[in-house]
Amino acid sequence: DEATGRGVPLVELRTSNNIRFYTDSSGVVAIDDPDLIGQTVYFKISSPGYGYPKDNFGNSGIGITLTAGGKTVVKITRVNVAERLYRITGGGIYRDSVSLGLPTPIKQPLINGMVVGQDTVLMVPYKGKLYWFWGDTDRPAYVLGQFATSGATSLLPGKGGLPPERGVDFTYWVDDTGFSRPMIPLTGAKGPVWVGGTFTLTVDGAEKLFTHFAEVDSAMKPTRSGLAQFNDAKAIFEPIHAFDTGDPLHPNGHPIHVKHSGIDYLYFQPEAMVAFPLVRTRASLKHLTDPKTYEGFTCLVPGTRFAGAGTKIERTEGRIVWGWKPNTPAVGMTEVQELIAKNKMRPDEALTPLRDVLTDAAVLSHGGSVYWNAFRRRWMMIATQVHGAPSYLGEVWFAEADTPVGPWVYARKIATHDRYTFYNPTQHPVFDQNDGRTIYFEGTYTNTFSDVKDITPRYNYNQLLYRLDLADPRLVLPAPVYRVALPDGAVSYAQRDKIQAQKSWHQIDAIPFYAIPSDRPHDGLIAVHATAKHDGNPLFYCLPLTPAKDEPFSADALLPLYVYEDAESGERSFSTDASIPPVPSAKRLPQPLGRVWRNPTAVLALDAYAGEGNR
């Protein structure tokens, strides 16, 4: 990496006769073909999210004179916002470094637990260690591996474990052959057994580990569903409760513990909308095993289910009602699109209308995770896009919201995988550094759901770890500007931190627009104050009325910001409408102050007073 000097994994070097080499997790390639030594060889260089200069014929590559024992350093440019660090599972993670006698950061750099491929990670801190679980797992001995969940532990960073930027030393649970063994060996299972929604609870004063599990058939439909508890002595999950396979209300995804109005909840991601935590129940075994106590953050009439054209949507005075409703599931984006197509819902009534902050194009999320971030003091989402480009299921996006359920609107792409799939990414908050400024996430890199012809050896069907610096200016996103109704009929404007400090969530009556948060100023922005005298700190920042030549944002998402002033008090109100003052007595200034981002949704749906932090 020309900026950091760190070796880049997953870089392809391809000769003119299509011999392919790939860098290992140290960014090292060992060229060991005897027919290439002693001559100049041209290598075409490519890597998802990284670039190398093109020549006059449009080729990105370099000619290298190969000599025995020789070495060449090639510097490439990172285009991704996120930085790819290393492959975390599979065989030959440091194959080339070991071949060359170079040092490696992990204890088992070639193969661990006989694992050569591993699907979708879940990780949870438990009893002073990190517990890791994966789905289907491949082995060297045969084309089929094991399909009843794999597991391993590692030591915490700073407590015997490596810093996350260096690596993870796994201790796998293995069978008599040394291969990663099943972690949930269900009696009579005929299909794969997958886990999700893994979490810890304090039961009778002791920390316990639980997970949802599902056995699936050849069509990937569940034939068994339940809750299992980890048996520490046997190191396996054992079923303790069965769920109805057709009931969507159960643990799933990457849970978060949230204290809401003094009550401890577990928030889960529904299968229909796996990036957003839109299902919850109280954090007790009694509630976790009773689907009727689960609540979905949904627009459905309480107690009902999605039923196509017969779906019952809750409305009050014509306005759609999104909120926590007992025994009522969340609705997925596919279901929302069907409701819109059947004229049961308007497009601007969707709950999570993610949009590309640069192009204003819609972003349809797939798998991901949401966690609280101390540095940004907001909820962070990292998710894969479905129907993306250039990869159908490999474009990774970052967004932030003021509450766990949203508003989730403007997002920024942080990683691309060039027609390859990268699904089910999750953050690892336990790895956060610099008070949350530096975060880490990983996901599954696989040819599944793609049209790639050249499957990447060793990397395919394994986990890649990325690092993200939240202070990167490319991650400055427009945030909601709330209009707060005051008792005297006046209005004020605030963003999350002020709303939280004043506990005024219940006074919010609208989100008229989005703007740059007051804690993310940068050159070229205009500070917006509450009064004509510019007293106090800015409320938020807006773009100048005239776009800069290099402005990256689409004009489709931007609107002029009109300022209205009260002649006596000097108090200001704001609107993107030049004809209707927010306060009747206010008078509009002649010219717009600048530009702000439109609010593309008519929904005002907040999880007000959800506690901060990951527990």
Confidence of residue 488 (pLDDT cuts 50, 70, 90): confident
Whether 615 has a pLDDT exceeding 60, the answer reads no
Residues in CB range of 408: below 8 A, 6 or more apart: 276, 352, 353, 354, 381, 399, 401
Residue 342 covered by a domain:
no
pLDDT, one tens digit per residue, over 102-140 is: 999 999 999 999 999 999 999 999 999 999 999 999 999
Residue 365 covered by a domain:
yes
Q: In what order do the strands lie in the sheet with 40-46?
A: 20-22, 12-15, 40-46, 61-65
Give the span between the Cα atoms of 519 and 375, in whole angstroms: 11
CB atoms within 10 A of CB 4: 9
Give the span between the Cα atoms of 391 and 80, in whole angstroms: 14
Q: How many angstroms separate the Cα of 183 from the Cα of each of 165, 283, 356, 411? A: 28, 24, 40, 36
Whether 432 has a pLDDT exceeding 70, the answer reads yes
Residue where a domain stops, chosen among 53, 81, 99: 99
Whether 612 has a pLDDT exceeding 90, the answer reads no
Confidence of residue 584 (pLDDT cuts 50, 70, 90): confident
467, 489: one domain: no
pLDDT, one tens digit per residue, over 179-196 is: 999 999 999 999 999 999
Whether 231 has a pLDDT exceeding 60, the answer reads yes
Closest CA to 464 of 167, 133, 172: 167
Q: What is the pLDDT of residue 16?
A: 96
Whether 296 has a pLDDT exceeding 60, the answer reads yes
Burial of 63 (0-12, 13-18, 19+ CB in 10 A): exposed
Q: Which domain holds residue 409?
A: 351-476
Residue 276 covered by a domain:
no
Closest CA to 479 of 519, 506, 445, 421: 519
Residue 371 covered by a domain:
yes
Give the residue with greater pLDDT, 532 vs 329. Answer: 329
386, 487: one domain: no
* Mean pLDDT for the stretch of residues 13-39: 97
Residue 289 covered by a domain:
no
Residue where a domain stops, chosen among 476, 504, 531: 476
398, 506: one domain: no
522, 465: one domain: no
| Number of domain units in the chain | 3
Residue where a domain stops, chosen among 476, 500, 530: 476
Closest CA to 512 of 546, 553, 478: 478
468, 422: one domain: yes
pLDDT, one tens digit per residue, over 354-400 is: 999 999 999 999 999 999 999 999 999 999 999 999 999 999 999 99
Please give the DSSP secondary-structure letter assigned to residue 474: G
Confidence of residue 566 (pLDDT cuts 50, 70, 90): confident
Burial of 437 (0-12, 13-18, 19+ CB in 10 A): middle
Q: What is the pLDDT of residue 434?
A: 98
Please give the DSSP secondary-structure letter assigned to residue 246: T
User: DSSP letter string over 263-331?
Assistant: EEEEEE--GGGTTS--EEEESSHHHHT-GGG-EEEESBPTT----GGG--B-EETTEE--EEEET----
Residue 384 covered by a domain:
yes
Residue 386 covered by a domain:
yes
Closest CA to 413 of 396, 391, 392, 426: 396
441, 504: one domain: no
Q: What is the pLDDT of residue 614?
A: 59
Q: What is the pLDDT of residue 613?
A: 65
Q: What is the pLDDT of residue 532?
A: 80
515, 438: one domain: no
418, 447: one domain: yes
455, 524: one domain: no
Whether 94 and 86 have beta carbons less than 8 Å apart is answered as: no
Angle at 368 between CA 334 and CA 365, to 5 degrees: 35
Confidence of residue 568 (pLDDT cuts 50, 70, 90): confident
Q: Considering the chain, what percentage of its residues have pLDDT values greater than 70?
A: 99
Q: Amino acid identity of 375? A: F
- Considering 74-83, 345-354, 449-458, the range whose residues carry the highest mean pLDDT is 74-83
Whether 427 has a pLDDT exceeding 60, the answer reads yes
Torsion of CA 375, 379, 384, 388, to 10 degrees: -100
Give buried/exposed letters for 567-595 (b at 16+ CB in 10 A, else e).
Answer: eeeebbbbbbeeeebbbeebebeeebbbb
366, 468: one domain: yes
**Locus of tokens 């201790």:** 171
User: DSSP letter string over 523-584?
Assistant: TT-EEE-SBTT--SS-SEEEB-SSPPTT--S-GGGEEEEEEEE-TTT-BEEEES-SSS-SST
Residue 558 covered by a domain:
yes
Give buried/exposed letters for 112-135 (b at 16+ CB in 10 A, else e).
Answer: bbbbbbbbbbbbbebeebbbbbbb
388, 402: one domain: yes
Residues in CB range of 488: below 8 A, 6 or more apart: none
Chain-centre distance of CA 393, in angstroms? 13
Whether 274 and 268 have beta carbons less than 8 Å apart is answered as: no
Give the sign of the dihedral formed by CA 267, CA 478, CA 440, CA 180.
Answer: positive
Q: Considering the chain, what percentage of its residues have pLDDT values greater than 90?
A: 92
* Mean pLDDT for the stretch of residues 49-75: 97
453, 514: one domain: no
Q: What is the pLDDT of residue 490?
A: 86
Mean confidence (pLDDT) of the chain = 96
Q: Amino acid identity of 379? A: W
